[in-house]
Structure 1
Amino acid sequence: MAKADAWGAPGGTAFERREARSDGLAGNARLIAEPAYRRLLAAEPLLRRSIPALIIIFLVVIAALRFLSLMNERDDVERDAKAILSLAAGQLASSISVAANLGSTPGATQDLLEGISRQGAMGRSHVLAVTDSAFKIVAVTPQSTGWEGRSLDAIAQGGQPLFMFGDRAGVMEVRIGGLDWYAAVSLTNGRNGAAAALVPQDAVFDTWRKTVSLNVTLFVLTAGVLIVILYAYFGQAARALAADRIYLEAHQRIDMALVRGRCGLWDWDMVRGKMYWSRSMYDMLGYEPCDAMLSFGEVDEIIHPEDGDLFQLANRIVAREIDHIDQVFRMRHADGQWV
């Protein structure tokens, strides 16, 4: 009995010292992890509501960045196309001037056009033309255009500065057959003719449009996947909340039944040496309820020494000497009495 009285000293049990412990955390782990965990719990509703806004902002930023990138790419394509036209017109005018000084024939001019057309970055959609002083086309490639013999300034509408200033007008946008073209005109020496290089804008931006189409498709697919994930997330969150509510209601009903019946529920994990007590068990013994698992020693410490030993009982169960527990023992109440 002296030993029992010593156990009954105030503050002597592990249960009375559990106020200094967190649920499953102790020491430095509690100091480091618990504040962050509490902040996370407090911020969880805000984070849940902010997820749709974050996804929308993410998609808008991605779309804006990709749009700017595509527009820069379009400017580069346009700049390269204009540079090719300007160089081709200048080279063609220079070659015509040299050929004229050598007394070339119209057939030689057509061959010159074909040769320049095959050089550099000239594509099938590019058109090269040589005109006389009245801007009447005397040679053109490809000949399938049917422009030979027609006036270039009548074909290319809106390009009057080209025929007045030549190279100084740069590359301009003109209308040919109801379509938008880029055109560059270079006047030959003595203004006895001109060389022109033209290309449809549709041909210039054909590859770029395919890139835009691919990017739009990928963006739509990405947005669709994120929307599906968002829908699944909120669906799962709603089901989790419903499950938590059902669990809490069932748990409260069980606790109420246990409290009114003056019963306590034990869940004994012998492998890990841990026990879970219902809140009614804490209430019967006057201790502060705790959601954490109790250790073997904490429970054994408040059992009367004359009423059995949990360690011995566990060993008998493990050895299969018994297959159920029917044990009567006294436990130390928080106020020191035996229950």
Structure 2
Amino acid sequence: MAKRHILIDPAQPSTSKQSRPPPRTNWELYILCQAETDEPLQCPLRSTMKPSGSGYASLTEDLLQFKGLRHMPMELNVNRLDDGDGVEATLRTHSAQWHKKCRLKFNKKMFDQQSRAESASGQQSSTGTSPVHTRSVASHRLPQSTEPICFFCNKPAGTADLHEAATKEIDKNVRRCATELGDTELLAKLSAGDMIAIEAKYHRNCLRALYNKIRPAALKDEDADRLHGIAFAELVVFMEDMHADEDNAPVFKLSDVANLYKTRLEQLGATVTNKIHTTRLKDRLLSVLPDLRAHSQGRDTLLLFEKDIGPALKKACDHDSDAMHLVRAAQVVHREMFQTRFTFDGTFHADCQKYSVTPSLLALVNMILDGTNSKH
């Protein structure tokens, strides 16, 4: 059989085994080990987490890291997972799936161990010292351990037991904490799927420590709410004290009340970055003070108590009544003056001045001068 001609890359080792083209992948089997077993499978496309298929990106990143090492955790030619569009795109196209135990061999912990082992081996070779092949060195070179580790601290169980994530609530809370804290390493782990699907295990102390990290932020929110509550309570007491004054009927302008509330918040030490929402403040005051009423007057909103509305209206009506009396009197005088006819014949009679003034006008002037007392 004639030999096939291939182009040799000088940067690659010149062994006949590595010069061969990568074997084809049977995508119906499990892509890492190419074996068919009854063990549970993982497929990012079946995960409920968003974005769909994000597990392919993390696997591709890990595989390409291991590709740069001299030894792989298991016999795997990464080139066979690339149809020409890149490893990640190829995995998505074929809906690739794998065993969990195979995936664990290509994680960050294994990569760090293998990198340190090869780095130490390289230093020993450069100094001419033959490495001592012990069992521990071999285990670093070809890590085969699949001992469960904590999802948070990456350490095995030790003296504390590992607990498996069994509820969606844990996954939800962990994602919320990771997002609020900006923990990129934890978010990267969560991108592989939800904690139940990837069968994540954790120390209870590690989970508790994560929750405690966001507790100070929650306490700050509680302190702010407490200061707002104190300032609002003092504002209510101030308005009630003003209302208790029997000599005055207080009328509050909503904008002034909001400024008073903001000033008190600043005095208490609260940070007020935004303008006080006057409508919400008004609604809170109306709910706490049942007798308080709000009335719009142009662009302003006036707040006053209901029992003060009646006297204010009565006072306004009294002013209106006086004005109406003046108008009525003027109408009577005006009508009588224009109904009276005077004829000037060129001479002034003896009583002409007396009769030129109408009785209503004369009576009005007398009442202005002498009052309405009939004894005068």
Normalised-by-shorter TM-score class: under 0.3
Would you tell me which structure has more helix in proportion to its own residues?
1
User: TM-score of the superposition, structure 1-length normalised?
Assistant: 0.25
